[in-house]
Amino acid sequence: MVRRARRINRTLAMAYPNAHCELDFRNPYELAVATILSAQCTDARVNMTTPALFAKYPTPADLAGANQIEVEELVRPTGFYRNKAANIIGFARGVVEEHGGEVPGSLEDLVKLPGVGRKTANVVLGNAFGVPGLTVDTHFGRLVRRMGLTEQEDPVRVEKEMMEVLPRAEWTWFSHRLIFHGRRVCHSRRAACGACFLAADCPSYGLAGPAEPETAEKLVKSDDREWLLHLAGLNEDYSGNNSDEAEGSRG
């Protein structure tokens, strides 16, 4: 399984050479807040919401002293806005009171802050601090189970098992690649099995979605669709070469 997991990672690296965190941020504070807001919400919606939020509250100290009703109105588009407003204000207060206004760079310190679980902490560590971490969100968990890399349902157990089969240096990038794949090909309700370049390594081929190429390729919808179909052997006329960017391209 270790060999298969690493082979999957290499294939994903070729498919998504520019995989990256799709939340917009300029610093650890902004990334942490954006990640908290992304719960049960698309990254695109969060990215439309945060500019006004950060314009009004550019630092943890600003947000820590904010009026919750005003924050609720700003984050309303992300859903569950009351809880999210309370969480990001609580997070900011924790940063100010416990860490002098600077977002901490360790998992142990981050998960002690209000609104921050292991997923959010790993997103912040991996993308704002360069500390490798696995982001076990719904896409990640669904895909590693479909691929037979784990049978665990609990995110912490999934994270632990995947840490054991992947090189530490690849944890953050594997997370990005897998999330990209979950959003573009291996959808939750109907995966594009017949148009998936990982078919040979996936025990769920034909079970998670249609195996017929003509049906499956219609489910692949992204800017790099032609490249992904080419990797799956369905677009022989493709003339580009995204794989040239795979080496050294880290988002």
Final residue belonging to a domain, choices 128, 151, 184: 128
pLDDT in tens, 63-119: 999 999 999 999 999 999 999 999 999 999 999 999 999 999 999 999 999 999 999
Q: Could you tell me the CATH number of the domain that includes residue 91?
A: 1.10.340.30
Final residue belonging to a domain, choices 84, 101, 128: 128
Residue 156 near residue 118 (C-beta atoms within 8 A)? yes
Q: What integer is the mean pLDDT of 221-233? A: 94
Residue 226 near residue 235 (C-beta atoms within 8 A)? yes
- Kindly state whether residues 122 and 36 are assigned to the same domain: yes
Residue 144 lies in a domain: no
- Kindly state whether residues 112 and 34 are assigned to the same domain: yes
Which helix (H) or strand (E) covers residue 69, if one does? helix 68-75
How many Å apart are CA 188 and CA 5, to the nearest integer? 20
Q: What is the pLDDT of residue 241?
A: 58
Listed residue (144, 148, 123, 147) closest to 134, CA to CA:
123
How many Å apart are CA 243 and CA 123, to the nearest integer? 25
Q: What integer is the mean pLDDT of 160-182? A: 96
How many Å apart are CA 214 and CA 119, to the nearest integer? 36
Domain with 57 in it: 28-128
Catalytic residues: 119, 137
Report the 10 Å Cβ neighbour count for 91: 24
Residue 156 lies in a domain: no
How many Å apart are CA 197 and CA 209, to the nearest integer? 14
Whether 247 shows a pLDDT value over 70: the answer reads no
Work out whether the CA dihedral 11, 21, 78, 218 comes out positive or negative.
negative
Query: Structural domain tally of the chain?
Result: 2
How many Å apart are CA 189 and CA 80, to the nearest integer? 23
Residue 111 lies in a domain: yes
- Kindly state whether residues 117 and 206 are assigned to the same domain: no
Residue 133 near residue 107 (C-beta atoms within 8 A)? yes
Whether 137 shows a pLDDT value over 60: the answer reads yes
